[in-house]
Amino acid sequence: MKKIITPLFLAIGLLFNSAQAQEGAYLNIYGAYGLPLASSTSLTADGVFDVDTNAMQSPGDYEWYSLTTTASLNADNEVITTTTFTQTKINLGKGINFGATFGYMFNDNFGAELGLAYFLGSKSSFTQEFKNEIDPSNVETSSLMGEIYANQFRINPSLVVSTDFNDFVPYAKLGVVLGLGTKVVESYTDSKYLGTENVVQEFTSSGGMAFGVSGTLGFLYKLNKKTGIYLELTSVAMNYSPKKRELTAYTINGDNELSDGIPLMTRETEYVKETTINSTDEVDPTQTTLAPQIKYPMSAFNLNLGVRFSF
């Protein structure tokens, strides 16, 4: 055992003795792109507005998957329906981050950072297309397309462990991530048969704070005593539960149909952890709709590239 432990402690000692003085404050400015770490395949369009009934459809009417369905006649004049199905994976953590980090090294090896960033999410989408080719001379097509993405302001305090090999500085960070001002935007475009009607609806979910944890491995290359460039790989584990969802746009063939004529209960949804609904209760159109709380996955791997300015 001594043959193993002694060289290990000697290696650790040499590692820290090689550190050059790097105490003091610094500023990092960076850009990053996040790839999805965990995705959901069960998200449904919760309460899409129905043009024909002038009311919200129940949850699950529009599920997030892509498909193409074609109806045609075979050689025996029988109607044959063929469907191609593709599951849609949804993660609201993929996208672009840009921001700044303020840090301070207490000694050669330990420090703390406070990161401020804005996140611009990339879209997840699905397309459901229906083709009626029973009459080849009069093919009818309808489609439903959906998109969802999120934007968010982030605060990321972290602890830093670092060492220094002359111009090359490897380090690791562990912290928490607070997501503020989150906006989740959904849009649905429903094209009726022969393109006679094109309905576009947009919903915005907001409220509440997202909370997660982050872990980072990175290295800094010093260009001189005051500046350097760095590359990081950061893992963020986070979910977001909005407080409410609101119908923010509703057009038919480009004409705005979002007006006071749409009851409030069909325009706003409040997410709650628990509620009791009695079948004998009267529906009040001046109140918002209550729905169970939902969680959107926002976990991601972020590749960060930035510049450091030391003071």
Residues making up the chain, counted from first to last: 311
Distances from the Cα of 37 to the Cα of 33, 40, 120, 299, 300, angstroms: 12, 11, 16, 5, 4
Q: DSSP 3-state assignment of 133?
A: coil
State pLDDT tens for residues 113-148.
999 999 999 998 888 888 888 888 888 888 888 899
Q: Which residue has the tokens 């001594």?
A: 2
**Which band of pLDDT confidence, cut at 50, 70 and 90, is reported for residue 63?**
low
The mean of the pLDDT values for the chain is 82
Q: Please check whether the domain covering 24-310 is classified as CATH 2.40.160.20.
A: yes
Would you give the DSSP letter of residue 90?
A: B
H/E segment holding residue 7: helix 2-17
* pTM for the full predicted model: 0.80
State pLDDT tens for residues 235-287.
999 999 999 999 888 888 888 877 766 766 678 888 888 777 666 666 677 67
Q: What is the β-pairing status of strands 44-45 and 268-272?
A: unpaired
Residues forming beta bridges with residue 238, ordered by sequence position:
212
Q: DSSP 3-state assignment of 219?
A: strand
Question: Of 230, 212, 210, whose CA–CA distance to 222 is shortest?
Answer: 230
Whether residue 55 has pLDDT greater than 90: no
pLDDT for residue 20: 46
User: Per-domain residue ranges for the chain?
Assistant: 24-310
Residues forming beta bridges with residue 170, ordered by sequence position:
219
